[in-house]
Structure 1
Amino acid sequence: MKTRKKEHGIVQKEPLALRRLPEKNEKTKQTRVQARLSGRKSETVLRALVRDLSDPSALYDKHGHVLFLNSAFTAAFGWSPEEAIGMIIEDVPEDFTSQTDEMIEILMRGGSVPTFETKRITREGTILDVQLSSVPFRDDEGMPAGYMITFRDITHNKTVETALKADEEKYRILFEQSAHMTFLVDPHSGKIVDCNDKALKFLSCSRGDLPKHGIPEIQAIFATKEILQDFVETLDRHHGAFKTRLPMSTGEVRDFVVDLKSVITQYDKLVQITARDVTDQEKAEQVLLESEMRFRSLVEDIPNIAVQGYNADREVIFWNSASQQLYGYAKEDVIGKKLEELIIPPRMREQVVSAIENWIKYGKRVPPGELELMHKSGTVVPVFSSHVMFENIHGEKEMYCIDVDIAERKQAEAKIRLLNANLERKVVERTAQLAVLNERLKKKIEEHEFTEAALVESEQQFRLVFENSIDALLLARISDEQILAVNPAACQIFNRSEQEMCSLKLSNLMDESDSRRTSFLEEKINKRKAVGELNCRRADGTVFPTEISESIFCDPKGDGLSVVVIRDITDRKRNEALLQMRTEDLTRSNQDLEQFAYIASHDLQEPLRNIVNCLQLIQKEHEGGLGKTSNDLIGYAVDSAKKTNALIRDLLAYSRISTRGDSLEILDTEEVLKQALLNLRTLIDGSEATITHDALPPIHADSIQMIRVFQNLIGNAIKYRTAKPPRIHVSASRSGNEWIFSVKDNGIGIDSDYFDLVFVIFQQLNGQERFDGTGMGLAIVKKIIERHRGRVWVESEPGKGSTFLFTIPDRQP
């Protein structure tokens, strides 16, 4: 049994010490097996003994090779006889190797090792808690030849044991911190086993006096002899509860609810008696009940305000007469039905249900606002709806909706919008009519105070935004385009004072030669809003490009006004032109690079192949006729041509990283690493390298390029090794919004002076005569990582190995 760390396995960090366990049936069986093994038994007899055992068992020679294993071993650990026999199974976690080595050493000296608890790793990498029994056997000459090990899986027992200890600790904390009097009574002796501090205070005794008290005292306290006695005798696991009244030390008599239940501990079954003071709770419930009655009486017949109540499942529990008038449903038709099935239009149902659930679960309140709900007939009911949620006396969530019919106001607003659309054209001839409409509008605003308050708040917010905006804001009259107000930014953009700006019309600020003005004005008239780019003119006559947005509205007096937002986009236009020019230059550069890559991959490689073929033909034609120097020169020329060909291929790959890469997608990094290791299998086997890795996260990346990254880094780690077999470990850790991957080796290391140089193309620090390569591997890695918006660097000391690290953002933009 070999105990070195398993490749790609999971390392257990907390080793368990050897400890003797109580002897059970399996120990007896093991003793019997040991007795049968003592002596010179043949391998056939040993296999028969192992095969008959029900627990996982295996025979090993003294070097740890598997000689035989039974079917229980295969079922428990995953290794079949075909895979394991003659091999060394790597099933020992790293932290338990010394423990296992000590066991084997004792067995091979002919000693015995008591059964102990330890851990083993299955073929799939799962760590199991096991009981391990071992016994040596001898060869025909009486010398220790190997050993037999029998395992018993105790993982489940360990988990249950841990859970029981945790539950017991939780129960003890709850017991001590309970706000209610709690007693634990032994039903056999009738004595109080334990109680909390609140119960001690009620008994007026110390904890040391508890054994003097028992069931008779408790029966006397709660006056419940029959109920308590019946429960103690039956030890019914279901809760028993009753109400009683107890006199306090102050003389006050208070109401209590006494709960009885049986408690099963690790050692016995006890009776738990809990006395809960409900006096204040019942008073509060009565107050809440009276308050609810007053609330229902108040809102039941309130006119023009529809109030509905819903439980946590959105089922109707309250429906006043105004709701019936507004939505057409009688109270008896809706109680118990769901909100979304009654007044919520189909298009809004999913959104409404989600909003209510978020309020209940996370406290995200549903804000008040205007909604278009649904009448029983299917017609639209516009309302202003606000909502409240609270818990009733039973601790259940209830939501109440208060809806006000705003159909009349909506009709008035629609009429105002229609009038404003034609206001500029008819402003003169319909002055008298507008006065009448404005009077009606004033009355509507007075009838809806909340609308007026909203308008005041909106005006204050508008003024704050107006004064502090970095864009130029202007307020103008529609009828003659007279500027009424400007903000400081407008004065700055046009190089005019506020007084001078307010003496001008909007048209005075525009470049009259700009042909786009006509379409802008048409859009403003037709849509009551326009957005576009126009040229404006400063006080000194300078023309500059702007982005303009103009919206039309009416003030409370009914006068048509427009808000104009102007932004100077001179810098943006300049940058756009520069960006366009640079984009065209970059496009041409990329096309030139693509053409060069094609030439490198085809036109340059073909002559190199011809050179290699010609040199090899010359060498074959004059085989034996050329001197050693000539043959060496031809060989050197062939190697140089091949190296140049490899260099061209790497250069081509380097140039195409950014332009020919695949789209980024969610990758299983462990699968990517597995593919890279498969590509390096010949190199790994030839160097006897050991590659391990931690659990690796999924990333958003190009799979082909990430395989290349791992392949280059691990290939370099194997290439630049010492005389020892390479040991390489891959890991990943999260840092903020990115993952940091590391590839650590035990190779020759790198001097810190060359940390940046190793990522430069064509750079090899150790010379081509010792290590093959083009010097492009790490440069390709760097460019791939930068394409993924990451970073790459190295940490190393000469002779102490190297760690190459790179980052990948958790989510690519």
Structure 2
Amino acid sequence: MDSSSSELDDTRAQLRRYASRSGGQCTPFTTAEIAERLGDAERNVARNLSRLVELGELRTRELADGSRVWWQPANEVDFPDQRSKLQEFGAFVSAVRDYAIFMLDPDGTVVSWNQGAKRIKGYSEGEIVGEPFSTFYTEDAIEEGVPESNLETAAEEGRVEDEGWRIRKDGSRFWADVVITAIRDVDGTLRGFTKVTRDMTEQREYEQRLRRERDLTEQILETVPVGISVIDSDGTFVRANRQALALLEINEADLGDLPAESRALYDAEGELVPGGRRPWTRVSETGESVHDFQCRIDRPEGDHRWLSITAVPLDGIPSGDGGTVVVIEDVTDRRERERRLERRRSELRTELGEILGRISDAFFALDEDRRFTHLNERAAELFQHSEDELLGQSLRETFPERAGGRLGEEFDGALDTQEHTNFEQYDDELDAWLEYNVYPSESGLSVYIHDITDRREYQRKLEESNERLEQFAYAASHDLQEPLRMVSSYLQLIEGRYGDELDEDGREFLEFAVDGADRMRNMIDGLLAYSRVETRGEPFEPVDLGDVLVDVREDLQMRIVESDAEIAAEPLPRVRGDRGQLRQVLQNLLDNAIVYSGDGPPRVRFEAERDGDEWVVSVSDEGIGIDPDNADRVFDVFQRLHSRDRYEGTGIGLALCERIVERHGGELWLDSVPGEGTTFSFTLPATDPDDA
């Protein structure tokens, strides 16, 4: 006996033992179950089982999912009648779990039930046998007569296949694939039906999801504003959207037979792009993507279009074996815009060079690494190097003595903060004072340099002159005090000793002399105060202007009461300044408003408004006003707009206010309408510049 016969006998013996332990004859088994039992490969077991089928010892059947079951047929001695065949079929059907397989009588009543039917539909055999098979249909299907129509079609044609929603015992729905087959005896009499049902819910959902994804992909493909195509490994178009067809001027019907090489492509120099350089060919050969490959195609009308082509391999397809996805974008307008921008940029560079060459200030530009990118002739003269020598060179390496000091610190600070900075610095090498205006950007610095040596010298001389004038004013006012006191003393002696002996004219003359001496004393005191604004002022500190105004009102209380003045004040801010001098400003402005109030009682209002890092303080009245032509004269020393007979004063009060405000870094101005009043406004630095 050869080895194959031995294997067959062994398989036969093991199969019988397995069958006796697992339910006997007619019990179906899968190939895998028998192979596991025998400890042999499925291929060998399947070969031996097939031989047993040929010998008539086994039966076999392939199921719908492609798997195969085997069973031993019933012994004809034990089952000599038709019953044996029915039991054999029943045993087979009962074992199937993936399909609901059951029988119906000619009226559609369930007469048998397998395990698959119980699993899919939820009914046990005892619950469903004897019930109409329409139990499994939806109410809509029943109303439409679907169950009866299916049986009629199966009876007439022998078989009917249907898909649709079915109902489980718990009321839930599932999508079913149903095959109903008519059963007839030898004389053609209808004995009933077999009904095979498979639950296709998951498969249907999967197919619908794929369909939705395909539809969405198709919609996106046809609506994107770029051309998209697929080219296979031999260079033939497989697919192209409408945009790609329009850009390449090809018909969709020609895709399958049209090679991609049929369209001539030209590079920027007008040369024909060979096949090996085309993006899809490079992707097919290397498996690597190609991005933004720009080329030109010519049209029959004589014009041409520029295309940007990106080609990428399809995932999971080896190089040279599959298609390449090609994305085509018409960039003609973009290239034209870029060309115009580049031309304009070139024109602007030329214009800028001419402008910078004409300006008297030195100008140079540095990139983010502090390398010169541009400079004009004045800058080249200032640095004592030619433009060619400096362009592309590092400021630190070329001028280490400059870049290592304050200049480098200011440049670094401007780049860090991205804020304009302005500073002055003396250049030892040039023996000159230079003013730097530095404008930062993300790409570097633009620097303007102005030679301010002459201005600094003028300022120095002006400061020296002002200092001498202050000294002179102080000395003159101080030295005049002594003779003035002497004049006043002798006038008092004359009035006391000879006053009764003087006639009316003499007493009037004496009164004029005393009044003149008093006015001279006031003018000297005012001049002395004016000369000391810069030299005798106190250091700046936080000052509450509200508190200062309280003190001023106390000083002028008598004048306020006598004139019946009404003083209104909004809350005044805290500022930085000299408290004594600011008190002088508020007092002079309030006194001025009372004096020039006109015929009615004075009405004065103090207000303040924040403007950036400073405060604007205003003092308004409803007095006689000032002619606009005289607006500047009122701030001059000893300038008066009215006679002393009508309005008292030395003509130095507003000049003193202006100088005090200027010392605080502000300015003083007025707005006035004759006959309606005047508003004096001045600016002062806020205590906290960041507190708005």
Q: What TM-score do the two structures reach when normalised by structure 2?
A: 0.36
- The one of the two structures with greater contact order (alpha-carbon pairs below 8 A, sep at least 6) is 1
